Amino acid sequence: MNTQQIALITYTDKGNYSGISDEENSKLLDLLKEKGLNVSFQIWDDPAVDWSRFDLIVLKSPWDYFDKIDAFYIWLGELEKLDVRVLNPVDIVRWNANKRYLLDLQEQGVKVVPTVWLEKGDTFDAAALFKTFSAEKVIVKPAISGGAKNTFALTLTEAEEKTEIINQLLQQESFLAQPFLEEIKTKGEWSFLFFNGQYSHTVLKTVKPGDFRVQHFYGGTVHTPEPPVALLVAAQHIVDKHAPGCLYARVDGVELNGALALMELELIEPFLFMAMSEGALQRYCEALLMQLQETANLIP
């Protein structure tokens, strides 16, 4: 029996996200225990948990972190003070929590879906935005968000009608805007999954007719085709350069003119679609075991 204490981080499920991680989490916990690991699920904002007793903390499904972002940042700071190892690493998690990271990646040469930043307190200008993108529809979403929360897909007329609502939201937090890509409807959104930087599997998510959200709790469907080599190579490069030391990474993107345009680099709480790929659970466990060995080597 491995004596290291491992916390798999989850959240208090209030029904907001359909509990989509439940089955994946349950199977993962069972497999890790079968391997003799001392592992338990812990809710990240449970004040009764003594985090100092854990050797390793794995952010598996803290799905509500963006609803409580200040508390989440404080919790990460407490883990740092306790010198508890966290996967994924705390500095990367902080960076990844705010979608401004997309601008960082863009400046470093990563092909990113065109993005306009809307600072907190800015005034939403629908006409200027549509002129910038030369698009028929735009997506507007919070800089810190998940699960399509407060996300709008708007034509110019709809954007003008929603201007007051968006301006009210901009008083509370920053947003970003992107052109709606027809390729999401016609080709779908790719997700490439990596464990310890090693490629594991791919899924292709498609929207239901009349919607723009690929999440399966909004009616999207998931497929497992063989990915185009060029897209996989691009995803691997992103992970190699921007997700060092990460137990898991999910690269979400769309194919534009044969190349991968990044939509999200998910490094905090992505659903990992492990049921969609034979052996994925095993590969995750093997990656975690390697990280545990590294943790043991770091302990004096």
Query: What does residue 177 show for φ and ψ, rounded to 5 degrees?
Result: -130, 145
pTM for the whole structure: 0.90
Please give the radius of gyration of the chain, using alpha carbons only, rounded to the nearest integer.
20
Residues 263, 287 share a domain: no
Tell me the residue type at 40: S
Q: Any idea what the CATH number is for the domain that residue 163 is in?
A: 3.30.1490.20
Question: Comparing C-alpha atoms, which of 104, 114, 4 is closest to residue 58?
Answer: 4
Smallest CA-to-CA distance from 20 within 189, 190, 272 is with 272
Beta strands in the chain (DSSP E): 5-10, 38-43, 56-59, 85-87, 116-118, 138-142, 152-154, 175-179, 189-195, 198-206, 221-223, 248-256, 259-266
Range of the domain at 168: 116-180
Task: Mark whether 106 and 212 lie in a shared domain.
Answer: yes
Write the pLDDT tens digit of every residue in 34-68: 999 999 999 999 999 999 999 999 999 999 999 99
Are 105 and 241 contained in the same domain? Answer: yes
Please name which of 107, 111, 110 lies closest in space to residue 241, comparing C-alpha atoms: 110
- Shared domain for 255 and 189, answered yes or no, is yes
Which tens digits make up the pLDDT trace of 249-290? 999 999 999 999 999 999 999 999 999 999 999 999 999 999
Sequence-distant (6+) residues with CB within 8 A of 115 are 102, 103, 106, 176, 177, 178
Answer yes or no: is pLDDT of 15 > 90. no
**What is the average pLDDT score of the chain?**
90
- Rounded CA-CA distance 101/95 in Å is 6
Q: Are residues 36 and 72 in the same domain?
A: yes
Same domain flag for 240 and 137: no
- CA distances to 100, 120, 206 from 144, rounded to whole Å, are 9, 12, 23
151/211 same-domain check? no
- In 146-214, which ranges are continuous DSSP H helix? 156-161, 163-170, 182-186
3-state secondary structure of 202: strand
Residue 155 token pair: 């034509």
Q: Could you give the C-alpha distances from 208 to 65, 153, 154, 218, 226, in angstroms and in order?
A: 27, 14, 17, 8, 21
Among residues 150, 180, 210, the one where a domain terminates is 180
Using 50, 70 and 90 to split pLDDT, how confident is the model at 214? very low
Place of tokens 């040469």: 109
CB proximity list for 190: less than 8 A, separation 6 or greater? 202, 203, 204, 205, 227, 231, 235, 251, 252, 253, 254, 255, 260
Q: What is the CATH number of the domain that holds 31?
A: 3.40.50
Identify whether residues 136 and 237 lie together within a single domain: no
User: Which one, of 38, 48, 42, 54, lies nearest residue 11 by Cα?
Assistant: 42
The model's confidence at residue 232, banded by pLDDT at 50, 70 and 90, is very high
Omega before 257 within 30 of 0, i.e. cis: no
Residues 14 and 163 in one domain: no
Average pLDDT over residues 183-209: 90
Backbone angles phi, psi at 121, to 5 degrees: 95, -10
- Is 191 found in the same domain as 258? yes
Domain end, chosen from 137, 158, 180, is at 180
| Contacting residues for 132 by C-beta, under 8 A, at least 6 apart | 116
Report which of 55, 65, 61 is spatially closest to residue 86, judged by C-alpha positions: 55
Q: Tokens for 92? A: 């990367």
Q: What is the dihedral of CA 253, 177, 174, 239, to 10 degrees?
A: 20
Q: How many domains does the chain have?
A: 3
CATH of the domain at 207: 3.30.470.20
**Residue 218 reports pLDDT greater than 50:** no
Same domain, 106 and 230: yes
Pair (76, 45) in one structural domain: yes
